[in-house]
Amino acid sequence: MTSPLEQKKIRITGPSVVTANRTWDGAVVYRTAKHGWSTELSDSAIVTTSDEARALLAEATADDLGAVGPYIAPVELKDGGKVKPGNLREHIRAKGVTIDLQVPA
């Protein structure tokens, strides 16, 4: 749970989403506008004010059965409404590891 005190401190500086890991399999998920979770960043509810962010996080946090460890993450909005992860960490969470996993034979 994000404590009320911590929630008060939340300030965002640009478009943001709420992300977490799905409880049953750990997959990266995003809070949607329909009060559910999606594995697609493009489905996420995008907030632009700190008040909206607080509300979205509170709602997501209440769904402890759906996903664990929700937090606010920055996104970039591209032309045509495309949503991109806002930093490298979120890029890796959205797209997977940046390394070639196949051990060369």
Partner 1 sequence: MYAYDELDRTLINERVSEFRDQVKRRLSGELTEDEFKILRLQNGVYLQLHAYMFRVAIPYGTLSSKQLRRLAHVARRYDRGYGHFTTRQNIQFNWIKLAELPDALADLAEVGIHAMQTSGNNMRNVTSDQWAGVAPGEIEDPRIWSELIRQHTTLHPEFSFLPRKFKIAITAAEHDRAAIKIHDIGLRLHKNADGETGFEVLVGGGLGRTPFIAKTIKPFVPGRDILSYIEAILRVYNQYGRRDNIYKARIKILVHELGIEKFAKEVEEEWKAMGDVGLTLDHAAIEEVRSRFSYPAYEKLPHMPDELKQAAHDKLFERWRKNSVSPHKVQGYSIVTLSLKPVGGPPGDATAEQMDAVADLADKYSFGEIRVGHEQNLALPHVAKRDLPALFKALDRLGLATPNVNLVTDIIACPGLDYCSLANARSIPIAQELTRRFANHDTADLIGRLHINISGCINACGHHHVGHIGILGVEKNGEEFYQITIGGRADENAQLGTLIGPAVPYAEVADVIEDIVEAYLALRDRPEELFVDTVKRLGVEPIRERVYATR
Can you give the binding site for partner 1, defined by CB under 8 A?
Answer: 1, 21, 23-28, 64-65, 68-69, 87-89, 92-93, 96-101, 103-105
Residue 59, φ and ψ in degrees, nearest 5? -65, -40
34 or 103, CB closer to partner 1? 103
Rounded to a whole number of angstroms, the minimum distance from the CB of residue 99 to partner 1 is: 5
Number of other residues whose CB lies within 10 A of the CB of residue 54: 21
What secondary structure does DSSP assign to 80-93, as a single string? Answer: GG-EEESSHHHHHH
User: Which residues contact residue 23 at a Cβ distance below 8 angstroms, ignoring those fewer than 6 apart?
Assistant: 64, 65, 66, 67, 68
3-state secondary structure 55-76: HHHHHHHHCCCCEEEEEEEEEE
Nearer to partner 1, 80 or 103 (CB): 103
Decide whether 4 or 104 has the Cβ nearer to partner 1: 104
Write down the least CB distance from residue 25 to partner 1, Å: 4
Minimum CB distance to partner 1 smaller for 27 or for 33:
27
| Residue 104 C-beta: closest distance to partner 1, Å | 5
- Least distance from partner 1 to the Cβ atom of residue 96, Å: 7
Task: Considering only CA atoms, give the Rg of the chain.
Answer: 14
